[in-house]
Structure 1
């Protein structure tokens, strides 16, 4: 493993944590903007129906995946620009 790839590991972990926090905030804003309650339902929320629970889970998963891909790609592109080596 070369030095750039090894050095990218902790950077990738930090970017992943930041991406997770960002995706949570984005999901919360979208959930509220679509006319739902402030907090999305959890899988065991007895007061909410299947439809709302599955919709919330699907939306949250899609947002998380999109933000993760954008953050990972941006980090890799930046490393490539700075070092000429693509981290993997």
Structure 2
């Protein structure tokens, strides 16, 4: 591996950081909104909002199911946003920002 390849890889990682940070924040907001919509449709309770760990009016089972759904949605959205951001960065710069 030449030193030019290593230098380009490090610079791509550094240049990608602000882009990745912004896209992660936007992805988190999108995932939160998506979870709220999914929970409203899936939940079979009188509550419209998802259960939080410190709200005692929800049974533990409902809290765990909501947490599993939320985690799956966040992980999927994050993976899609990260991959899409990396591909866009590669199109703009010609370098892949990862390893």
Above 0.5 in TM-score? yes
Alpha-carbon distance in 2 for matches of 1:4, 1:46:
47
TM-score by length of structure 1 reads 0.91
Alpha-carbon distance in 1 for matches of 2:22, 2:62:
32
Number of the residue aligned with 2:21: 13
TM-score by length of structure 2 reads 0.82
Number of the residue aligned with 1:26: 34
- How many residue pairs get matched? 88
CA root-mean-square deviation: 1.3
Tell me how far 1:21 sits from its aligned partner: 0.3
Q: 5 Å matches for 1:9-88?
A: 9-35=17-43, 36=45, 37-88=47-98
State the secondary structure of the residue aligned to 2:50.
coil
Alpha-carbon distance in 1 for matches of 2:15, 2:97:
9
